[in-house]
Structure 1
Amino acid sequence: MKYEIAKRYLVVMAIIFIIGLILTLSSVSIGRSIALDILIENGGMDTAEYQLIIKSYIESLRACGVVTSLLGGLGTLLSGYTLYNNTNEQS
């Protein structure tokens, strides 16, 4: 039972880690896309304001991606260690 829970936890944490990496690596394109949508919605804006929006969204998405991947990576390591200890005890 404990082995199955740790195995599921490992899979979930690995998925969270991958999502964090994808979010971090694609933060520039997502930030530009959001800023372009805001530009179209407003019908135009000052260039400096547009650049500020792009920069702020990129930094926010990158920070979220880093935190998510760190938590997912730490969870993956901890659950992998638990699985390793359980397999040693079962052997």
Structure 2
Amino acid sequence: MRKVRMNVQGRVQGVGFRYMTKMVADELGIHGTVRNEDDGSVSIESFGEDDAMVQFIQKIKDSPSPAGRVTYVDIQEDPLMEEYTSFKVTN
């Protein structure tokens, strides 16, 4: 199991990015949260199986929203992160 924090930059607010991220997470069995940040980025906390996490990260880099465009993703492993039981859009 992997616990990963991501900060996603680009055209990621106002384009359905968070809700499409939740759909992808639900498809892959990833748990966690996604939220908009004041600086225009999106933060994701994600928890899931290694193979599913690799797919999830790639789909985020490719932008799960057709109207979105990801220019940069900061990815950090965080073994101390909470183990979520579902995936939620938090704001």
Using structure 1 for the length normalisation, give the TM-score.
0.28
Larger radius of gyration: 1
Using structure 2 for the length normalisation, give the TM-score.
0.28
